Structure 1
Amino acid sequence: MRSLKTVALLAAAALTLTACGGGDEGGTADGKVKLRFSYWGSDARQKLTEQAIAAFEKKNPNIDVVGEFSDWPSYYESLATKVAANDAPDVMTLEIRGLAEYAGRGALADLTGKVNVADLDQQVLATGSFDGKQYAIPTGVNVFAMFVNKPVFDKSGEKLPDDTSWTWDDYIKLSEKITKAGDGTTFGTEYTFNQVYLSMFAAQRGEKFYDNGKIGVTPETIKAWWANFDQLIKTKGSPDAAKMAEIAAAGVEQSLIGTNKGAMGMWWSNQLGTLAKVSGSELQMLRLPKAEGASTHGMFLQPAMHWTISSKTERSAEAQKFVDFLVNDPEATGILLSDRGLPINSKVLASVKDKLPPADQQILTFVESVKSELAQAEVPPKGGSKMEDIVRRYSEAVTSGQQSPDEAATKFLEEANAAIAG
């Protein structure tokens, strides 16, 4: 994701175009108020979102919501350019990683007291705060968990692990056994370089990813994390680095679990439905393994994303009404379900609980079973939006043999701390 500074030149050009463009001032030809709403996702998410927009417009016939949809890779680049050019959408979708950057630059409206949050999970709601103000409302929550493709797993003859006590060594050895028991085309697991995964791994060792404005993960922990990938590759518990890079680039539908070529893999809970659909297989969710002697799995409830409102909008009342609808109206929840995470409004969740499809029911059951073990999600500081890319690049360099773990850990910490420092 580009920072707002990096789009200054593009912004200047956009400002010129905006100034010369004239025309629309936030209304439509038939007198309705036009509300611009930006979000990203798949075709399936776009269809669901359009249904929710239609339901809102039916209840609010004077408001016309115009969705500004894009795929994930281009979303933040486009949004940063619009914000820098004072052409921000009225309602914007943000990840928790981008909250501090956008709020810190004055791009977001303070929603304190502007949207009804009485029935929302207050612990999760706190993740939308920055400098003591509520700039964002969580759309829903996910947990990062181990997924098991039951048919592939069962075919190996191995037993499911006790996920309350299994360790990383157990996971690596189990992955190796499953691969060896296969026909040469299936693997025990697929891995990911998700920054949240590293955060959870660090938490098991008593470390925070962010600590007092710096990266709190030690070089030893980073290298231990990379050593797990190295072991999976060496034992053939997973594909090699080149193959994993290819799989990761192909997306969730082409994952090993999704194509029934892998027994295990780590994913966000709201991806269960897609994986179950494309694989046609029974999937199960487990806690992540933990370090030997660790007291926690390091898991936490993570907002899937946040609803925010531009500080520059001239349609704040309508924008607030739309966000309120998305988080508090049972009809909206009944349409969107867990696509943007499990709803955090207890009343609307109860109203649609029995209508949830099997995958969502499974996610809810799992989340409820581990809820007492879950920590509160941390709001990353400015620069946090860059961490996913930094973690991935150095991890790929290590697993592919381009850099030694020692060199990569040093450079990783230098670049990550520089990103936070701005």
Structure 2
Amino acid sequence: MSSGKKMWSATLLATAVLAVTAACGSDSGGESADGKVKVRFSYWGSDARQKMTEEAIKKFEAKNPNIDIEGEFSDFGSYYETLATKVAGNDAPDVITIEIRGLREYAERGALADLAGKVNATDIDAKVLATGAIDGKQYAIPTGVNAFSLVVNPDLVEKNGQKLPDDAKWTWEDYIDLASKITAESGGKVFGTQQSFNPGYLEIFAAQRGEKFYQGNKLGISPDTLKAWWSNMQTLIKTKGTPDAAKSVEIGAQSVDQSLLGTNTGAMGMWWSNQLGAINKASGQDVSLLRMPKAEGAATGGMFLQPAMLYTASSKSEHPAEAAKFIDFMINDPEAGEIILSDRGLPASSKVLAAVKEKLPETDIKTLDFIDEVRSELSDPPAAPPKGASGMEDILTRYSEEILFGRMTPDDAAQKFLTEANASIAG
């Protein structure tokens, strides 16, 4: 997941994928100059991801000398707009990387192929695999899994006179109190935590109150839950557990590297578990994962596994068999797994995970151990959200910022957010 970065425009995407149904023929795929089958593969990420992906592609091509994989790489900020434009122009890549919140947008408009029976998925947890299915068709295969979690720098907690919480028991009140005490003890040099506007956070918070984020083509979250969620944000600012509104919004728009945890100016924060390594590297500290705090008396902690990303294939590909073969390689081949490791989440294939476990960096082993520890407590992974959900993070962040700056009350914001958010997913 993007963790605060902006997704594609829902309007642009809708327009783009609608064009698929009107297009004739396809420019996807084709042949390379040397007569090999050309399969185009789109993905986003860092320079490090591009380097390891190119290495995996070379390994696949060595095993399949008649197939030429053409990587189409970009940074995350431009990825979805570029992809939507290609789909609209009937120039979709054969293999497309996508996040779960945009899956239904493409699948229900006919842009994706059904991969059932074409990619071996026997070693993927059935509940995780189901996140890539819509209306009985397996449009996407999870690359790997992660969980939205509380990340902590134990050293900063203890240096500022506090103890790590018992995360099997702690509440939101405990979390706010700990954050405030850390800031106070440090004299404001280190904040206890930072604000998060990620829908994953709200999804967990709502589940603890017996509510689903999505209920069909509308939100299942009540105004009271939204108000309680925003109240925690306001209390953190009031008690100085986080920076003020202006600084919190500024930090929220930054990458992990520039987060409070990443710069050693904050002791806690909420992130997807596969980001632990990046935080560890940026901070130079030994950071750890904790369970999310829980509402008093909640029957569930609300945490869940989610695909870090998914591989899909264009329904217009001229080479569907070769596209599926490449996806199968990236998901199931231990040699690919040894190259990619946990870059796209802890490998979804249990066999690949077992094969590469000893080669995983220490932080990834820590993440794996944490997920194994909490696995029995996790809720089922949520299904692909409705069309229009790709813009949910932007909408949620906007209303959260209005509240933190005092320009709207939680009462007003709750009703307006629900109205706007429901309108965005109604179609």
Give the TM-score taking structure 2 as reference length: 0.94
Say which of 334, 337, 343 aligns to 1:333.
337
Contact 1:3 1:80 in 2 (8 A): no
Shift of the 23–337 alpha-carbon distance from structure 1 to 2, 3 Å rule, reads closer
Say which of 382, 395, 400 aligns to 2:387.
382
Q: Percent identity?
A: 63
How far 1:162 sits from its partner (Å)? 0.5
Provide the secondary structure at the position in 1 that maps to 2:97: strand
Contact 2:223 2:414 in 1 (8 A): yes
How far 1:199 sits from its partner (Å)? 0.7
Shift of the 384–408 alpha-carbon distance from structure 1 to 2, 3 Å rule, reads same
Contact 2:102 2:390 in 1 (8 A): yes
Shift of the 64–148 alpha-carbon distance from structure 1 to 2, 3 Å rule, reads same
Structure 1 residue 3 corresponds to structure 2 residue 10: yes
What is aligned with 2:53?
Answer: 49
Structure 1 residue 410 corresponds to structure 2 residue 410: no
Structure 1 residue 166 corresponds to structure 2 residue 170: yes
Cα separation, 2, equivalents of 1:369 and 1:246: 34
User: What are the equivalent positions in structure 2 for 1:136-285 lying under 5 Å apart?
Assistant: 136-285=140-289
What is aligned with 1:373?
Answer: 377
What is aligned with 2:119?
Answer: 115
Structure 1's unaligned 5+ residue stretches are none
Contact 1:39 1:92 in 2 (8 A): yes
Q: Which deviations, in whole Å up to 9, do the C-alpha atoms of 1:56-89 show, x marking residues without a partner?
A: 1121122111111111121111111111221100
Runs of 4 or more above 4 Å deviation: 4-12, 22-25
Cα separation, 1, equivalents of 2:254 and 2:322: 39
Cα separation, 2, equivalents of 1:176 and 1:24: 55
Q: Which amino acid aligns with 1:150?
A: P
Structure 1 residue 26 corresponds to structure 2 residue 10: no
User: What are the equivalent positions in structure 2 for 1:314-333 lying under 5 Å apart?
Assistant: 314-333=318-337
User: What are the equivalent positions in structure 2 for 1:66-145 lying under 5 Å apart?
Assistant: 66-145=70-149
Cα separation, 2, equivalents of 1:380 and 1:23: 30
Cα separation, 2, equivalents of 1:297 and 1:162: 14
Provide the secondary structure at the position in 1 that maps to 2:150: strand
Structure 2's unaligned 5+ residue stretches are 1-7
Task: Figure out how many residues of one structure are paired with residues of the other and give that number.
Answer: 417
Provide the secondary structure at the position in 2 that maps to 1:267: strand
Provide the secondary structure at the position in 1 that maps to 2:59: helix
Contact 1:37 1:91 in 2 (8 A): yes
Cα separation, 2, equivalents of 1:25 and 1:198: 40
Q: CA RMSD in A?
A: 2.0
How far 1:98 sits from its partner (Å)? 0.8
Shift of the 107–282 alpha-carbon distance from structure 1 to 2, 3 Å rule, reads same
How far 1:10 sits from its partner (Å)? 12
How far 1:3 sits from its partner (Å)? 3.3
Cα separation, 1, equivalents of 2:132 and 2:14: 25
Give the TM-score taking structure 1 as reference length: 0.95
How far 1:342 sits from its partner (Å)? 0.8
Cα separation, 2, equivalents of 1:182 and 1:54: 50
